[in-house]
Amino acid sequence: MSIFEYNGSAVVAMVGKNCFAIASDRRFGVQLQTIATDFQKIYRIHDKLFLGLSGLGTDAQTLYQRLVYQHKLYQLREERDMKPETFASLVSARLYEKRFGPYFCQPVIAGLSDEDKPFICTMDCIGAKELAKDFVVSGTASESLYGACEAMFKPDLEPEELFETISQALLSSVDRDCLSGWGGHVYVVTPTEVKERILKGRMD
């Protein structure tokens, strides 16, 4: 078993019309044993920028704390929030500088730019970015997430339709992966509001 699969995870981000959604499962396990069913995998950097971390739970929390520290320094120096593209470059640089002993995480970054244009991207554990215009996935359920998102995604979805699409894609995907599941956690972000919802899923 790969170290990335040790705790199990599923993270997906999807683009809509001037909005985006980011979702994750809630399971925290040690291989096949479930330890917690309310584990946080999506973190708010600011109101228009979210970070999802799949992979090893301990490394995810450490990396998040380092990135929050860097973002707060940026806010003090620049007196503004970081753009999603800038934050993606920061995450990539932080991961690459640890390339010989990497954080075992695969980040998913989703945000709205100044023109309210959605930006999503994912990267591997040493910071190689993969940009997309529709959706990005990571975690142990990524293969089934690719299939579900490919089948369900439509361009320019409104926030409510986007929520339905990403939720159905997530729930149907984690049912096909025994290392992730136990419900879902979804954020839908528009220029004016952030909606957070908890999904109930199969508890097995």
Q: What is the pLDDT of residue 86?
A: 96
Q: What is the DSSP letter of 4?
A: G
- Walk along the chain (204 residues) and give the pLDDT tens digit of each residue: 899 999 999 999 999 999 999 999 999 999 999 999 999 999 999 999 999 999 999 999 999 999 999 999 999 999 999 999 999 999 999 999 999 999 999 999 999 998 999 999 999 999 999 999 999 999 999 999 999 999 999 999 999 999 999 999 999 999 999 999 999 999 999 999 999 999 999 888
The superfamily (CATH) of domain 3-199 is Aminohydrolase, N-terminal nucleophile (Ntn) domain (3.60.20.10)
Nearest-angstrom CA–CA distance, 189 and 102: 30
Pair of tokens at residue 94 = 């932080």
Residue 152 DSSP SS3: helix
- pTM assigned to the model: 0.93
Beta bridge partners of 187: 22, 196
Domain range annotation of the chain: 3-199
Q: What is the pLDDT of residue 154?
A: 94
**Which amino acid is residue 188, in one-letter code?**
V
Pair of tokens at residue 9 = 């995870």
**DSSP alpha helix (H) spans, 50-83:** 57-78
Place of tokens 């069913």: 37
Q: What is the pLDDT of residue 179?
A: 93
Q: What is the pLDDT of residue 1?
A: 82
